Structure 1
Amino acid sequence: MNRFTDIDVTSKRLPAVYGYQNQQLVSIEKALEPIEPQINDLKVYIKTAKKYCHFPSEHGLTRDESAAVYIYTMECDETSLYRLLNNALRDANRQNIKIWFPYLKLFDTALDKLPTITGDVWRGVPLFIGNSFTGNQVLTWWTVNSCSSSVNIIKNFLGNNESTLFLIEIINGKKVSGYTAYEGEDEVILKIGTQFRVKSDSLEQSNQSHIVHLVELDDNDDDDELVISPMKNLSVTSNSGASTSANRVPTQVTDNDQEHKLCPFANKGTCRYKDNQCRYRHKKCQNYDSCSQDKCLLAHAPRSPSQPSTGNRKECKSGIECFNPDCKFRHPEGWSACDDGTQCINYDCISNHAYGRKQKCRDGKQCKNKLCKFLHPNNDTEQSGIKDVKYEDGKLQLSENS
């Protein structure tokens, strides 16, 4: 078993984990001092992590924070750090997790600085547990959960028979590739306490393995909301060119639809539905916070009287550098995050973008390389032809470039 297959196969309910966020940040040596009796050669592992971790970091991680991520991904023996940590997180006696609080604070601080990604990720377990998951079931994973954006990576850790593969639609994953002890695993971490809804009953494959489709829930999701699409005809091939397919049953968006939420996958270009099929909106209204058009088909801020005012919101930890356009926290004056995220191809865009956006070509308009993979001026208008999108007279108006 490794961290990608380290999954709690029981369905027991556990108390929430509180308190580690209030700890003071300390060095990794100090943070892991209480754990030293449990891990053989811990000092050697810490030294290795600090030597080989990704530092300096373009995301602003300190050496200790980067080492906290690196040492979590180190595969050693039965006393690997991630195994002991996740075992403690599964313990119903929450007193036993407190010795991990200094490390969890350091680890969580590091994750907060790393890019947040949405899309599909995978993890699995070499056990026959698929029948334990039924459609609409809501579950919480209180451990740190390592996933991969590549299904082949996970399949390498599973046997051919009687295994369970998890396909997870995430909205708050943390991209840790480049910070781990093993390159090429496309690792994404889901934080402690991530909650999911089972999309549909598990799908049994011809080799007796199961696929379970999970959808990450955010704080605004209604637990009583109906699940829309069954996981029908989903398959994962067993060869090196593994592929997935799914026939979904989307909800049609109508003028009377009151769900005005922005699709969490649209801005990153990973939504599987077309604009007129997705249950959510794919473009923000230019009057996002104040639109008075009841039939506007663009996305708006939640229309809730209990929504806190800007002055009462907590300050965003990323401050002026936050790249999440839907961040609910307060930012300094002048902050701006691009709605298109890593998919933005506007050369002149000066808003914040998540790590991974195509870089600007240093030659700009003077570039003569037709195969150049970098971003050039006017790429956005040349490719799409659309200059602006707005709502007027009850219709969507698209202003096109000449």
Structure 2
Amino acid sequence: MYVAERFFDAGQEYLPKSSAFERYANESLVTIEMAIRVLEPPIYNCDVMALTAKRIMSCSVGVLTIDEAAAIYLYTMWSGKPEQAISTQLNRTLRSGTQDELTSWLSYLQLFVTALNKLPSVNGTIWRFARGDITSYYRNYCVWSGFSSCTRTESLFEVFLNRNYVYTIFEIECISGKAIRKYSECPNEDEVLLMPGTRLRVIKKENLSNGFKKVYLQEEGHPNQQLAPRLGTSVSFNGTYRTGQDFHSTLNQSNNEIKSRPLYSNCSYNAINPANT
């Protein structure tokens, strides 16, 4: 079975009580090839993936340039091993708050964020997931530091959840999400991204009948707010909480656990047998 790991990485978030970024100086927009030049290593085959993304997006229509569309597509692609995916490496860096580590990402971020800010904001209900019960870390409100991959189709992902394990499901009322389905390697995931620094208020928590946990969140802020702060500066906050689940521990729960999809997959869900969960 294959499903994108980034939808299940809520357990990787640091939960600051408050978050502050300085506005960053304008970076020059460059091609996707130039933007990812410094990312390999640690991202294997990144140059090939960028060219693939650009070729696929060459016929893309809409408000985005080909390079901007390719930046989004590249974010949704896997690089052989899940831990080498663009989304994994980028979000790990953002959540670390380490300015030096983020330097190599600034050109890609400028292209990626420029593309996302051109897309209309999504206002509605979206879902995100985490392995394990992490509800105790969600009290009054939280700030998610990375790009948060959510879906508008909860049922699509629920069939992949292993009933022998506990999961936390986040039901989010968003006001400024960015729908990237048209620019995704796997449109069926119906992905909506929340920007780094998104502030969420905890509405309630619930124990579901199947043993899973659920947290209801409301996004706070102006619906037309764009990601303007400088991402290369440190995060300051009054307190930090972490779920305690690292990336590798979420991948190896059992042989029947969710696996990431192979490189350049066509994301066909027809071949997946939900009974194996």
Q: TM exceeds 0.5?
A: yes
Task: Indicate if the aligned counterparts of 1:21 and 1:105 stay in contact, CA closer than 8 A.
Answer: no
Aligned counterpart, 2:207: 204
Match for 1:35: what amino acid?
L
Match for 1:49: what amino acid?
A
Aligned counterpart, 2:99: 94
The alignment's C-alpha RMSD in Å is 2.3
C-alpha deviation, 1:41, in angstroms: 0.9
Q: Deviations over 1:323-376 (max 9, x none)?
A: x7x99xxxxxxxxxxxxxxxxxxxxxxxxxxxxxxxxxxxxxxxxxxxxxxxxx
C-alpha deviation, 1:157, in angstroms: 4.3
C-alpha deviation, 1:13, in angstroms: 5.9
Given the superposition, is the C-alpha separation of residues 65 and 13 from structure 1 closer, same or farther in structure 2, using an over 3 Å criterion? same
Identity %: 35
Match for 1:45: what amino acid?
M
Rounded to whole Å, the distance in 1 between the matches of 2:166 and 2:97 is 29
Rounded to whole Å, the distance in 2 between the matches of 1:119 and 1:20 is 30
Task: Indicate if the aligned counterparts of 1:169 and 1:215 stay in contact, CA closer than 8 A.
Answer: yes
Task: Indicate if the aligned counterparts of 2:15 and 2:143 stay in contact, CA closer than 8 A.
Answer: no
C-alpha deviation, 1:18, in angstroms: 4.3
Given the superposition, is the C-alpha separation of residues 101 and 16 from structure 1 closer, same or farther in structure 2, using an over 3 Å criterion? farther
Q: Deviations over 1:186-241 (max 9, x none)?
A: 111111111110012x201123210000000005xxxxxxxxxxxxxxxxxxxxxx
Given the superposition, is the C-alpha separation of residues 17 and 36 from structure 1 closer, same or farther in structure 2, using an over 3 Å criterion? farther
3-state DSSP of counterpart to 1:38: coil
Match for 1:209: what amino acid?
F
Aligned counterpart, 2:132: 127
The reply on whether 1:148 has 2:151 as its aligned counterpart is yes
Given the superposition, is the C-alpha separation of residues 54 and 122 from structure 1 closer, same or farther in structure 2, using an over 3 Å criterion? farther
Aligned counterpart, 1:70: 73
Aligned length: 219
Task: Indicate if the aligned counterparts of 2:14 and 2:95 stay in contact, CA closer than 8 A.
Answer: no
C-alpha deviation, 1:45, in angstroms: 0.5
Match for 1:33: what amino acid?
R
Task: Indicate if the aligned counterparts of 1:124 and 1:158 stay in contact, CA closer than 8 A.
Answer: no
Rounded to whole Å, the distance in 1 between the matches of 2:172 and 2:51 is 34
C-alpha deviation, 1:94, in angstroms: 2.4
Aligned partner of 2:50 among 46, 49, 70: 46
The equivalences for 1:107-126 within 5 A come to 107-126=112-131
3-state DSSP of counterpart to 1:169: strand
* Higher relative contact order, structure no. (Cα contacts within 8 Å, ≥ 6 residues apart): 2
Match for 1:119: what amino acid?
G
3-state DSSP of counterpart to 1:119: strand
The equivalences for 1:23-42 within 5 A come to 23-42=27-46
Structure 2: unaligned runs, 5 residues or longer:
227-277
Aligned partner of 1:189 among 190, 193, 208: 193
Task: Indicate if the aligned counterparts of 1:20 and 1:101 stay in contact, CA closer than 8 A.
Answer: no
Aligned counterpart, 1:341: none
Given the superposition, is the C-alpha separation of residues 97 and 15 from structure 1 closer, same or farther in structure 2, using an over 3 Å criterion? farther
3-state DSSP of counterpart to 2:187: coil
C-alpha deviation, 1:9, in angstroms: 4.6
Rounded to whole Å, the distance in 1 between the matches of 2:97 and 2:18 is 6
TM-score by length of 1: 0.51
3-state DSSP of counterpart to 2:176: strand
Aligned partner of 2:172 among 168, 179, 185: 168
Larger Rg: 1
Q: Deviations over 1:247-286 (max 9, x none)?
A: xxxxxxxxxxxxxxxxx7xxxxxxxxxxxxxxxxxxxxxx
Task: Indicate if the aligned counterparts of 2:125 and 2:172 stay in contact, CA closer than 8 A.
Answer: yes
Task: Indicate if the aligned counterparts of 2:91 and 2:146 stay in contact, CA closer than 8 A.
Answer: yes
Task: Indicate if the aligned counterparts of 2:180 and 2:193 stay in contact, CA closer than 8 A.
Answer: yes
Rounded to whole Å, the distance in 2 between the matches of 1:123 and 1:54 is 30
Aligned counterpart, 1:158: 161
The equivalences for 1:1-400 within 5 A come to 2-7=5-10, 8-12=12-16, 16-18=20-22, 22-53=26-57, 55-58=59-62, 60-76=63-79, 77=81, 78-134=83-139, 137-160=140-163, 161-200=165-204, 202-219=205-222
Aligned counterpart, 1:228: none
C-alpha deviation, 1:84, in angstroms: 0.3
C-alpha deviation, 1:17, in angstroms: 4.5
TM-score by length of 2: 0.73
Match for 1:102: what amino acid?
S
Given the superposition, is the C-alpha separation of residues 99 and 212 from structure 1 closer, same or farther in structure 2, using an over 3 Å criterion? same
Rounded to whole Å, the distance in 2 between the matches of 1:205 and 1:118 is 25
Rounded to whole Å, the distance in 2 between the matches of 1:56 and 1:9 is 32
